[in-house]
Structure formats: C-alpha cells, structure tokens
Amino acid sequence: MNLALFDLDNTLLACDSDYEWGQFLVTRGVLERDAYEAQNAAFYEQYKAGVLDIHAFLGFALRPLAEHAPEDLDRWHGEFMLARIRPAMGAPAKALVQRHLAAGDLCAVVTATNSFVTGPIAREFGVPHLVATEPERSAGRFTGRVAGMPCFREGKIVRVEAWLAGQGRRLQDFPQSTFYSDSHNDLPLLELVTHPTAVDPDAALAAEAARRGWPVISLR
C-alpha cells in the first residue's frame, strides 16, 4: 500500500475554501461586508506571501462558528457546497483522487482549513480521511478556539504523523508517499514524502519544484 496526501485549497479545488466560506457568509448577510471582506482579503494575501500568523487568522476565521447555532451553520454549509464548492471541483481533480483510490492507496486530504468547512468537501471527493485544523467544541457548539496544533506548515507533518500513528503506521512504512500541493507553505511536508508533486503551483513553489526536479501538474 502506498500513501497519497492531497492539499485541498487551490490544489484539488480551484478555489480557497476558507476564503470562499467567509465570502459566502458575507453574501448571506451573516457577516458584515466591509469589515469582514477587508480582513479576509488581508489574511489571504499574507498566506500567499508566506507571512501568515496562523493563530491570528484562526481567531478571525473560527469566530463565526462560535457565534451561530450548529443547525444554522450546517444549513449554510449545504448552500455553500452548491454555490461555491461543487463548481470548483474539476474533473481532473476527481480523476486523480479516483486513480489513487483504485490503486488501493491510503488517501487523505491534508489542509490548514478547519474540519467544519473541509469535512464535507473531502467526502464529496470520496477521500476517506481528513487531516485538518480542528475547531474546539464544548457542549455541542464551537468555541472559536483551535483544538490542538493547527494543520499548517510544519504542523501538517505533526498532524499527519499523529494520524498515521493512530493506525499503527509511520510515513516511512510506505514504499511510496505522494503529496500534492499548490503552495510554498507546504514545503515542509513536500520535502518529507518520496513523491512531492506541485499542482498549479504558486511562483515560489514553481521555482522550488524546478530547482529540485519535482513534477509539476495542472488540474485546471
């Protein structure tokens, strides 16, 4: 058995689900447009530039989960999937996932975006495992805080290793391990697998992939 890990935002998806979720809540009137849009855009630019303070961002991104009832969040997420996510799920990305599943590989989506937003998306792709940033819950509601380490940069390694350890496995146990990503923020995990693959990469990752001779593919 081999291991196949997929980044989600701008890799399998032709959008950033975290950013789009916030924008969707703005269009639904759940969040105030001017204040939220400006901050959401600023954090997204910081992420692309590689200077994002993940804890500051999560304090911002998880707050709407804490401010609304679970049933409202679930209803909005269903609408979000129809309006924003399914149109961003291209046939090449679905085919890539299916090739790995058909080969009997152990497959997981590994994403910095929180599991409330990304869980239904991973299921829609048919990926059986999700390694994501976990929002804290208490008494059936989100608290607005993070549970454990964010699944971001080096944190992706920690979280993947913990997920594998829960199955009695280690990364080095797999004859081949592949990680697909678009972002230079994922270099720590890309450097650890046997088959790092850049997918529609940002400029920094494209340059690094060229320098190291990593394969570059497009799912667009």
Average pLDDT, the chain: 96
Is residue 24's pLDDT more than 90? yes
pLDDT of residue 35: 81
Could you tell me which CATH number the domain at 3-217 has?
Answer: 3.40.50.1000
pLDDT higher than 90, residue 37: no
| pLDDT value of residue 167 | 93
Q: What is the pLDDT of residue 55?
A: 87
What is the pTM for the complete model shown? 0.95
Which tokens hold the place of 108?
A: 């997981």
Residue 77 — pLDDT band, cuts 50, 70, 90?
very high
**pLDDT tens, residue by residue, 96-147:** 999 999 999 999 999 999 999 999 999 999 999 999 999 999 999 999 999 9
Domains in the chain: boundaries: 3-217
pLDDT, position 135: 97
Task: Say yes or no to pLDDT of 44 above 90.
Answer: no
Query: Any idea which residues carry the catalytic annotation?
Result: 7, 9
Dig out the tokens for 166 from the structure. Answer: 């829960």
**Model confidence pLDDT, tens digit, residues 159-201:** 999 999 999 999 999 999 999 999 999 999 999 999 999 999 9
